[in-house]
Amino acid sequence: MGNEFISQEIFKYKEKIDKRLEELTDVKTEHINTLVQSMRYSLLSDGKRIRPFLFLSIIDLYGLNSDDYIDIACSIEMIHTYSLIHDDLPAMDDDDMRRGRPTNHIVYGDDIAILAGDALLNYSFEIMLNFIYKNPNISNIKAVKKIANLAGINGMIGGQFLDVSSENKNISTEELDFIHKNKTSALITAPILSAGIICEVSNDEERHLSSFGYNIGMAFQIRDDILDILGSEELIGKKIGKDIEHHKNTFPKYYGLEKSEKICEEYIEKALEDIEKLTTSNKDFLKHVAYYLLNRKK
Ligand code: GRG
């Protein structure tokens, strides 16, 4: 399966996402202009928008109009962007480049970068609560609760915790899986599962969507680990080789490159099995997504 079809689909949604992110953060407020600039500097830079794309396209797959849910999609991207800003800080991964430009703290300083991340996180929940206020129903509440859960201690933050606290240590493969599952898969599963919840899919369908998110999320992170060794800095938009420099616990470190490629493919195969169990008639669309993530170069 080639990547051209899905790249065009991502682009279609990306245009809408970028436009709405720009509108949502176009706030003119006295005294805090630099803070807003710093939030927009990272948020409006050239991210792939994979998470909001997954959310909106799955809403469409189950027959609702994704345009009505664009604010939730943008909120998920804000959570993702805050995590990148904080992850790049000297106290965490200490990165100078992100999305092809200097990282937030390099431009604005650590103090403002921390606040920009905090502000994006809070703003995302303000926007989602505003959405629920205007569209009060139990599915919308359940969906936002799921996003909060997967972005928090039982998801992304929990995974990041084990990741930073196990640098320079040898960990078990079970711990390695825990890091990847939570640091990365959780915020890939969040848009997929919350879209299903909004569309009121069955419990079985939720289970299959969740498993699909987990499997493509694991593959996404293993591909990320591999790109950190073999990728092009120009395409990825950040320095490569940082994982080895920081003694990070990655799949290539534990399994070597060749086996990591194989494990990545196995997760994609499991994701394809999940797709077969779904009731959606457009299974090919999700298969294209899975292959796109397997073959991505950035
Ligand atoms: C600081 C709470 C906190 C969490 C940080 C996002 C993250 C967790 C760490 C960043 C480092 C990393 C390799 C994370 C894995 C997830 C990942 C591959 C993020 C990059 O996502 P992309 O490729 O980035 O979707 P763009 O820039 O395209 O949005």
| pLDDT tens digits for range 154-180 | 999 999 999 999 988 999 999 999 999
Q: How far is the CA of 80 from the centre of ligand 1 (A)?
A: 7
**Amino acid occupying residue 142:** K
DSSP 163-216: HHHTTTS---HHHHHHHHIIIIIHHHHHHHHHHHHHTT--HHHHHHHHHHHHHH
* pLDDT higher than 70, residue 1: no
> Phi, psi (5° rounding) for residue 97?
-125, 145
Q: Is the CB of 181 under 6 A from ligand 1?
A: no
- Which atom from ligand 1 is nearest to the alpha carbon of 183? 8
Confidence category of residue 245, pLDDT binned at 50, 70, 90? confident
**CA nearest neighbour of 144 among 42, 27, 44, 55:** 55
Q: What is the pTM assigned to this prediction?
A: 0.96
| pLDDT tens digits for range 118-136 | 999 999 999 999 999 999 9
The rounded distance, in Å, linking the Cα atoms of 249 and 194 is 30
Count, residues in the chain:
298
Q: Is the CB of 156 under 6 A from ligand 1?
A: yes
Tell which one of 74, 183, 248 to mutate to probe ligand 1, the residue whose CB is within 8 A of the most ligand atoms.
183
Q: What is the pLDDT of residue 25?
A: 98
- Which atom from ligand 1 is nearest to the alpha carbon of 46? 27
